[in-house]
Structure 1
Amino acid sequence: MPTSATPSDPLTTVVVVTWRGADHITACLDGLAAQDRPHRTLVVDNASDDGTATLLARHPSRPEVLRLPRNTGYAGGVAAALAHVETPLVAWLNDDAVPRPGWLSALEDTLLADPALGAVGSLMRYAGGEVQSLGVCLTADGHGADLTEPRRPFGFCGGAVLLRTDALRAVGGVPADFFCYYEDTDTAWRLRLAGYDVAVAADAVVVHRHGASTRPGSARFHRWNERNRLLTLLRCAPPVVAARELARFAALTAVLPLRRARRSEEVPKAANFRVPLRCRVLADVALRLPSTLRQRAEVRRRSVLGRGDVWRRWAGQ
């Protein structure tokens, strides 16, 4: 793999997925235009109807645009873009994230310095300066959780990350049917099963307007989040872990009405504790179970490490 690039031969394609991003995508593209490394910018427009297309056409950086006929979510947009990536490296960048100067060079330098790395994440900050993510850890029950203190990460936040294109393709690409959430944890998990390492470059900084396209805490957010966590476990985790967490989710769903009726325990008010939403998650998982089990077999075929080895090394650490 080359370690330098010319303007005519960039190392990285930066994929920006947008949906109704007219009020924030210009800042993202301005930040990319200020980078000191040559790159290709590919914007995936998920059928925006708010004037985003006009802004993209008028932006002085002249990004390439892949306009999709419907909204496929973040995961679907990144998956669609992968077929159009010809560079050895590919970055994912949220349309509401603004990379600071030197962001791309820090990512490229870190990734190219270590052949064992399959992906390098960024330091993501909220607009007020607080740390949003320094990578992702794997909790003891199989959640992907953002790290806010420096430590070795299990995975990366997909809002700003650089990956080796061939490694991403080799582990099966991006789970397009996730729509959004957990496509990053699932991808990092498959990279680790395939023997790749994951790191974070703390000097690769982006400022993130979190939740500009999807509202954290909303019913949709919780539905996608809970469903995709279970699907990730079914695809990547040891069988005992996947079965245990699916059973726990179903059992809690069954007892929630009793807890509320008895009022013996405080039931959180968050949307993911609403029984109809949890039933819909279980129905979604059940409908996808045959294809997910086929995907699980494919993940196993592409792996060089055992699921148990990865779980024991990272879960709860």
Structure 2
Amino acid sequence: MDTADPGTTSARSTVVIVTWRARDHLEHCLDALAAQTRPHRLLVVDNASDDGTADLLRAHPTAPEVLRLPANSGYAGGMAAALRRVRTEFMVWLNDDAVPARDWLAALEDAADADPGAGAVSSLLRAEDGTVQSAGVGLTPDGHGRDLGATTGVDGTAEPVEVFSFCGGAALVRTEPLRALGGVPESYFCYYEDTDTAWRLRLGGWRVLLAPAAGVRHAHGASSAPGSPRFHRWNERNRLVTLVRCAPLPVALREVLRFTAITAALPLRRRLGRPTPDAANFRVGLRLGVLGETLERTPEALRFRRELGRRAVLDRTAVWRSWAGRDER
């Protein structure tokens, strides 16, 4: 259905929320969408929630279209399933623990209209205390996607600025380029589906913008557990797979070898009594699992890489040199 005072204007955006056991915070997100100043279609992908989320969706005044999946496919899997149902010009990604400002969707659409070369537009995400949580995503020298913090001009009134990647917590993506360049990497389950998508958009000749006026309050971690072993497993694996799919091959090979070397060195460092980080991503067992899953996925990633190369209009090395470490200089 069209929501948010559609008037005589057709909806250009489908707002997609992927949810799982989110009854405690999903209603705030839905209420904020009901107040938007632009018409839109609303699609909620329910990853087999068993906490009453389905009842909340049935009862909510927005009456969203609901796609209930038989099992939890993660954020990436849910977005991939949703893309098959999107028929609007824009597909808008929104976390279920995000509360967008009333003019949020208008700001995203206006930024896309002002720059026809923009394949995606990221929102300005703020934490509950008002601090900037994500002003888009940068690309680090080792190929990590890193949320950018407060920068000059992100005060809710600045003009859009270019960033490497959008933050998948709240962003607009042009539907047809997304489909043409491989869709959403559903096997990622969670994390890096946004950075991978931005890589592919850029290789296809599209830019990515941050629209500071598109404000969102985000309860980061309400629907996931940053810092947990599962977080680090998905994060590290998906970074390496993204590099194999999208980055210059020497960069991908370097980072896989670096990850392997650090993993191999950890037991020796501990035997010698040398300090090692206590974070879950420095546990040898977890890292071996990451390497195993990365190796298992590499043949398919290389096949995808070749197909993407046939569709690309920009060189991978040129994109890497333009963006890797750019926000750290």
TM-score calculated relative to the size of structure 1:
0.97
Match of 1:118 in 2: 119
Q: Which runs of 4+ in 1 moved over 3 A?
A: 5-8
1:7–1:38 CA contact under 8 A, matched in 2: no
Q: Which runs of 5+ in 2 are unaligned?
A: 1-5, 152-160
Q: Which deviations, in whole Å up to 9, do the C-alpha atoms of 1:68-119 show, x marking residues without a partner?
A: 0000000000000001001111100000001011000000000011110000
1:179-190 map, 5 Å: 179-190=189-200
- Correspondence for 1:260 among 270, 284, 294: 270
Q: Which deviations, in whole Å up to 9, do the C-alpha atoms of 1:54-76 show, x marking residues without a partner?
A: 00000001111000000000000
Q: Which amino acid aligns with 2:59?
A: R
Match of 2:33 in 1: 32
CA distance in 2, matches of 1:189, 1:144: 10
Q: Tell me the CA shift for residue 289 of structure 1.
A: 1.2
Q: Which deviations, in whole Å up to 9, do the C-alpha atoms of 1:255-297 show, x marking residues without a partner?
A: 0001111113x20100000000000000001111111111111
CA distance in 2, matches of 1:239, 1:167: 24
Q: Which deviations, in whole Å up to 9, do the C-alpha atoms of 1:9-60 show, x marking residues without a partner?
A: 2000000000001101000000100100000000000000000000000000
* Partner SS, residue 166 of structure 2: coil
Structure 1 pair 6–88 and aligned structure 2 pair: CA distance change class (3 A): farther
* Partner SS, residue 177 of structure 2: helix
Match of 2:301 in 1: 292
CA distance in 2, matches of 1:101, 1:9: 18
Q: Which amino acid aligns with 2:321?
A: R
User: How many residues are paired up?
Assistant: 312
Q: Given the alignment of the two structures, is residue 198 of structure 1 paired with residue 205 of structure 2, yes or no?
A: no
Q: Given the alignment of the two structures, is residue 136 of structure 1 paired with residue 137 of structure 2, yes or no?
A: yes
Q: Tell me the CA shift for residue 298 of structure 1.
A: 1.5
* Partner SS, residue 41 of structure 2: strand
CA distance in 1, matches of 2:236, 2:60: 37
Q: Tell me the CA shift for residue 212 of structure 1.
A: 1.4
Q: Tell me the CA shift for residue 152 of structure 1.
A: 3.5
Q: Tell me the CA shift for residue 7 of structure 1.
A: 5.1
Q: Which amino acid aligns with 2:280?
A: A
Q: Given the alignment of the two structures, is residue 50 of structure 1 paired with residue 60 of structure 2, yes or no?
A: no
TM-score calculated relative to the size of structure 2:
0.93
With 162-171 and 225-234 compared, the bigger mean Cα shift is at 162-171
CA distance in 1, matches of 2:98, 2:251: 34
Match of 1:310 in 2: 319
2:162–2:207 CA contact under 8 A, matched in 1: no
CA distance in 2, matches of 1:278, 1:294: 24
CA distance in 2, matches of 1:174, 1:230: 16
Q: Which runs of 5+ in 1 are unaligned?
A: none
Q: Given the alignment of the two structures, is residue 208 of structure 1 paired with residue 218 of structure 2, yes or no?
A: yes
1:1-317 map, 5 Å: 9-150=10-151, 152-264=162-274, 266-317=275-326
Q: Tell me the CA shift for residue 149 of structure 1.
A: 2.8
Q: Which amino acid aligns with 1:276?
A: G
* Partner SS, residue 267 of structure 2: helix
Counting aligned pairs with the same residue, the percent is 62
RMSD value, Cα: 1.0
CA distance in 1, matches of 2:83, 2:227: 29
CA distance in 2, matches of 1:277, 1:127: 32
